[in-house]
Amino acid sequence: MLESFFGAFLIMIMRICDVSIGTVRTILVVQGKKYYAGLAGMIEVLIWVFAIRYIFQHLDHIQNLFGYAIGFGIGNVLGITIEQKIGLGYAQLSIISRKASAEIARALRHEKHGVTVLPAQGVTGEVSIVVVIVPRKYQKKIIALIESIDDKAFITVQHSLPYRGFMHGARK
């Protein structure tokens, strides 16, 4: 009895590991980091093969299936959490502030981030769109800075894959 629950626990741990690695691998693929993605994929599949091998050897233990499913769910949560902590790649923030666009741009430039300010027309009249591309690991810090200046600023965040050009502050 104890052995069969140990097997389910082992499967769950293996699934947590391989799904977490798979989540990070997917981000590496999107970021174009093919060699790291390949290495992560190799480790991910190796762990998965060991897990599935154990399951097929013990198909009569239903708890193994639950270990597999629980590990998959936890692995997704853990993989996303790890990726958010690592903060791979870049994010483009577009900021619209009714009252403080110039001040936000100044503060971002003071922090050594390249900023582009675009004129725009909103429902209430003329506004400016402040655009900044930052490493994702600094995204929360930048948003906190923006909100400290204008807590009602409209902020959108998109994945960004810089293609060419100068990234101000990239040599920090």
Q: How confident is the model at residue 160 (pLDDT cuts 50, 70, 90)?
A: confident
pTM of the model: 0.69
Query: CA 161 to CA 32: how far, in whole Å?
Result: 9
Cα pseudo-dihedral 5, 8, 14, 20, rounded to 10: -110
Segment 16-47, tens digit of pLDDT: 999 999 999 998 898 888 999 999 999 999 99
Residue spans per domain, the chain: 2-86, 90-160
Segment 45-101, tens digit of pLDDT: 999 999 999 989 988 889 999 999 999 999 999 999 998 888 888 899 999 998 899
Give the architecture-level CATH label for domain 90-160.
Answer: 2-Layer Sandwich (3.30)
